[in-house]
Amino acid sequence: MRPRLPLVAGVAAARAAAGLSRLVGTGGGTTVPGKLLTLLDPTALDRLAARLPRGSALVSATNGKTTTAAMAAEVLSPRMRLAHNRSGANLVSGVTSALLATRDAELGLFEVDEAALAEVARRIRPRALCLGNLFRDQLDRYGELELVAERWRGAVAELAAGAALVVNGDDPQVGDLARKHPNALVFGLDDPRHAAPALPHAADSKWCLVCGRPYVYAAAYVGHLGAYRCENCGHARPRLDVVARGIELDGLEGVEFDLHTPDGERHVRLRVPGLYNVYNALGAAALALSLGATLDDVHGGLARFSAAFGRFERIVIGDKTVLVLLVKNPAGANEAVRTLVAGGPPRLAVLALNDAIADGRDVSWIWDVDFEPLLDGLERLVVTGERAAELALRCKYAGFPESAIEVVGDVGAALDRGLELTPAGGGLVVLPTYTAMLRLRKIVTERGYVRPYWERAA
C-alpha cells in the first residue's frame, strides 16, 4: 500500500494548483485542487471535513441546490465562517476544493450533485442534510429517477440519528424520507391560489409511491410538487413544519410570503422571483434553523440575497441588461418560462443548447419543456450552441414561424446578435444550458461586465 502523504503537504500542493489554474486561465481553481489532493490522498475529503469545528451541511436537489445553498450561506455567514462551493462545483473534487480554499472555516456548507450525494454524505458525515426535489434530469448521466431516489434513501438511512434532515414535503419521493428519520423538518407551500391549472406534460412522481395509483392534487405548484394524496391507500404529503403562505408574486422583481416555522413567523421579501425560489428559500430557512440560526438571521439573510451564479443573474452591458436564466431540465426550464411570462412576456429571446456531459449529451429533454407560453409572445428568436438546430426544430414544430428563428452557432455571436436586436435601454433574455452559461459568462467577463466567479467567493 502506498504510504499516506501528510494532509498538510497535500493541502499545500493543492492550494498551489488552485493558483496555477487561475494563472493559466483554465478556470477558477474550483475543481483542480480537489482532484489533485484526492489523487495524493484519497481520504482528503474525510479528513478535511473532520477538521471543521461546527461540522458540515449538505444540500441536494435536481433544481435549486445552488440557490438554496447560497441563500443558506447568506443567512449563516454573519454568524460563522463557511467553506462553501458557491460556483456549483458539486462533485467530490468540488467539495474538497472548497474545503481547501477556505482556511479557518467553521462550518462546511456544500451543494452536492444528486448522484454524488451518498458518497459525499458517507465521507463527510453531515450534521444536516437538505433535500429539495427530484425531477427527470440528464437521464444519460443519472439513469432513471428511481435510481437517484434509491441512493438518497441509502444516504438518509446512513445519516447519524442526531443529524437534522430537511426535506421538501411537496415532493412525494423526497417528503417520504421524513418518515424514515427521527429528526426531520418538512417544508412546503400552502397557498392554493398559486396552484397550476394542471400537472405539466412531463410530470414525474405522479403515481403513488405505495400502490401505484395516480395521486390527487389539492394543489400542484411546480411540476409534481404540491399537496398530493392517494385516494386508494391514503399516502399523502407529510405534515409541514416550515411553510410559505400568503405568497405574492411580483413579476421578475421578486416574491413575498409569510414564513411559518416552529420558531415563529416572519414576512419575507425575496429579490429573486418565482414559486421555485420560495421553495429554495424554505429549504434554506429550515436548514439554517436546524443549524442554530435564529428566525431573525433567516429573515435578514433572505432579504439580502440577490442571485446565485448564472441563476436569474442580471448583467449590465452598456445601456442594456442581459438577464440570464440557466435551464437544464424540463422542470427548471418550465419555471423559468413561467416566471418570464408572468413578468411581461419578452418579444426577443436567446436560447442556447450545448450537449457536453455537464449539459446532458441527450438533448431530447428540450421537447419536454413547455416553451409554448414563451413562444406565444416572441417576435424573434435567436438559437445558439452546439445543438442550435435541435432548438430551432423544437420551436418550428411548436408552430413558431421558421422565418422568425435565427440560428447563430457561436454563443458569443448570438449574444451580440441579441444585443443588436435589443432596443437601447432594453433587456435581453438569455436561457442557456450549463456549459453555454459558463461560455457566456466568460465572454462578458472578458469584456469586463462581471467579475470572474472565483472572485465572488470573497
Partner 1 sequence: MKLVVGHLYPDYLNIYADRGNIAVLTRRAAWRGIELTVEPIGVGDRVRPGAHDLLYVGGGQDREQALIAPDLAAKGDAIKEAVAGGAALLAVCGGYQLLGRFYRERSGEQLPGVGLFPHQTLAGERRMIGDVLLECELEPGARRTLAGFENHAGRTYLDEGAEPLGRVVAGFGNDGESGYEGCRVGPAIGTYLHGPLLPRNPWLADWLLARAREHKGADPTPFEELPDELEREAHAVSAQRARDRGGRF
State the residues that interact with partner 1 by CB under 8 A. Answer: 136, 139-140, 143-146, 201-202, 206-207, 212, 355, 361-368, 386-387, 389-390, 392-394, 396-399, 402, 407
Least separation in angstroms between CB 317 and partner 1: 29
Query: Which CB atom, from 43 or from 364, has the smaller least distance to partner 1?
Result: 364
Query: Which CB atom, from 34 or from 223, has the smaller least distance to partner 1?
Result: 223
Query: Which CB atom, from 70 or from 366, has the smaller least distance to partner 1?
Result: 366
Least separation in angstroms between CB 276 and partner 1: 22
Query: Which CB atom, from 207 or from 454, has the smaller least distance to partner 1?
Result: 207
Least separation in angstroms between CB 259 and partner 1: 35
Query: Which CB atom, from 142 or from 309, has the smaller least distance to partner 1?
Result: 142
Query: Shortest CA distance to 222 belongs to which of 253, 248, 191, 246?
Result: 191
First to last CA, the chain: 40
Least separation in angstroms between CB 212 and partner 1: 5
Least separation in angstroms between CB 394 and partner 1: 7
Helix axis angle, 65-76 to 275-290, nearest 10°: 50
Query: Which CB atom, from 369 or from 440, has the smaller least distance to partner 1?
Result: 369
Sign, CA torsion 213/338/64/362: positive
Largest CA distance in the chain: 65
Least separation in angstroms between CB 389 and partner 1: 4
Query: Which CB atom, from 361 or from 456, has the smaller least distance to partner 1?
Result: 361
Angle at 361 between CA 358 and CA 366, to 5 degrees: 100
Least separation in angstroms between CB 140 and partner 1: 5
- Residue matched to cell numbers 458557491: 86
Sign, CA torsion 190/194/198/202: negative
- Residue matched to cell numbers 432594453: 426
303 alpha-carbon distance from chain centroid = 19
Least separation in angstroms between CB 150 and partner 1: 11
Cα–Cα distance between 239 and 352 in angstroms, integer? 40
Cα–Cα distance between 153 and 180 in angstroms, integer? 9
Query: Which CB atom, from 266 or from 387, has the smaller least distance to partner 1?
Result: 387
Number of H helices, E strands in the chain: 16, 17
Cα–Cα distance between 269 and 259 in angstroms, integer? 10
Cα–Cα distance between 55 and 43 in angstroms, integer? 17
Cα–Cα distance between 252 and 339 in angstroms, integer? 7
Query: Which CB atom, from 223 or from 301, has the smaller least distance to partner 1?
Result: 223
Least separation in angstroms between CB 373 and partner 1: 16
Grid cell for residue 422: 435589443
Residue 288, classified by CB atoms within 10 Å of its CB into exposed (0-12), middle (13-18) or buried (19+), is buried
Query: Which CB atom, from 149 or from 165, has the smaller least distance to partner 1?
Result: 149
Least separation in angstroms between CB 206 and partner 1: 8
Sign, CA torsion 330/336/340/341: positive
Query: Which CB atom, from 65 or from 136, has the smaller least distance to partner 1?
Result: 136
Query: Which CB atom, from 263 or from 410, has the smaller least distance to partner 1?
Result: 410
Least separation in angstroms between CB 60 and partner 1: 20
DSSP secondary structure string, 297-348?
Answer: HHHHHHHH----TTEEEEEEETTEEEEEE---SHHHHHHHHHHHHHT---SE
Sign, CA torsion 282/164/88/85: positive
Q: Classify 96 as helix, strand or coil.
A: helix
Least separation in angstroms between CB 405 and partner 1: 8
Q: What is the dihedral of CA 14, 16, 17, 21, to 10 degrees?
A: 140
